[in-house]
Amino acid sequence: TRSQEKAQALKMRKGGKRIACLTAYDYPSARLLDEAGVDLLLVGDSLGMVVLGYPDTTHVTMSHMLHHVEAVARGCSNALIVGDLPIHSYDTAEMALANAKRLVAAGADAVKLEGGVRQFDKVKAIVDAGIPVFGHMGMLPQRVLEEGGYKKKGKSEAEYEAILEGCRALEDAGVFAIVLESVVAATAERLTEELEVPTIGIGCGEQTCDGEVAVISDLVGGYPWFVPPFAKPQADISTEVTKAVRWYVDQV
């Protein structure tokens, strides 16, 4: 399929032209980002925090995801669209495949889920059905409550080995790329060298992976109440909105 071709084209960029990924949750941002040349638009379950106002991603449901994947799909014609499988939507391989198909029907080219070894069967079931899968290792936000916070990963040799083992399981199951989240820079570099599929970093330092992903609100200053330490805002749209609205209120 066209989706498989697009995912394969990104996979082939391993070690070559770096891959630029951003999250998008609605039609206007999808259209602006796609037209600006982003390679991959992730309808991430960060949606729960930066759009829906929940404290973390554990509140996000399939119906939230479907609603926003549909909007992004209407605005995007070039980038690969990836839809996150939210928490508990892939508790079994059967559920993983059924929900991946729903995201694709809503307009996603590919899906993403969190974790390594224990997700092997789920990833394989989805890939075998012809749907590209994006892996996600390192800090796994859907487990933030069990972990008691957002912690840096890959600090010790044992953690490096554990992440590598998970990434290898994902490669064996057929993912086209893997997100590395909040992995210490030196470990992210080692993993990037070791793995056959592209690594896409967030919170892993600069130029350590084969590509990067950022949350759009972090890039444009759209969510002033929480800014991750690794964010590099290039605009301040929340201040612009406040200014425009104050002008409007005064003028009325």
What residues are annotated to the active site?
181
Name the residue with tokens 């330490």: 229
| Number of residues that make up the chain | 252
Q: Which of the stretches 38-46, 142-150, 165-173, 189-197 binds ligand KIV when contact is defined by CB under 6 A?
A: 38-46
- 147 assigned to a ligand binding site: no
Phi, psi values for residue 201, rounded to 5° = -90, 150
Task: Give the DSSP letter of residue 86.
Answer: P
- 45 assigned to a ligand binding site: yes
Binding mask 41-60 vs Na ion (x if CB under 5 A, - otherwise)? Answer: ---xx---------------
56 within 8 A of 145, measured Cβ to Cβ: yes
Residue 173 to residues 15, 63, 142, 197, 246: CA-CA distances in angstroms? Answer: 21, 27, 21, 12, 53
Shortest distance, position 234 Cβ to ligand KIV, whole Å: 17
Shortest distance, position 45 Cβ to Na ion, whole Å: 4
Phi, psi values for residue 66, rounded to 5° = -65, -45
Tell me the two tokens of residue 14.
Answer: 């391993």
- 112 assigned to a ligand binding site: yes
Chain centroid offset of residue 45 CA = 8
Tell which one of 65, 131, 164, 215 touches ligand KIV (CB under 6 A): 215
Residues 77-96 that bind ligand KIV (CB under 6 A): 84
Specify whether the backbone of 72 is left (phi greater than 0), alpha (psi in -120 to 50) or beta.
alpha
Tell which one of 39, 84, 109, 181 touches Na ion (CB under 5 A): 84
Q: Does 34 bind Na ion (CB under 5 A)?
A: no
Which of 184, 215 has the CB closer to ligand KIV? 215
Buried b (16+ CB within 10 A) or exposed e, 206-222: eebbbbbbbbbbbbbbb
Q: Does 202 bind ligand KIV (CB under 6 A)?
A: yes
Q: Does 23 bind ligand KIV (CB under 6 A)?
A: yes
Task: Give the DSSP letter of residue 16.
Answer: S
Q: Which of the stretches 41-49, 63-71, 168-176, 230-238 binds ligand KIV when contact is defined by CB under 6 A?
A: 41-49
Residue ranges for the known binding site for Mg(2+) are: 45, 84, 114
What residues make contact with ligand KIV under the rule CB under 6 A? 23, 42, 44-46, 84, 179, 181, 202, 213, 215
What residues make contact with Na ion under the rule CB under 5 A? 44-45, 84
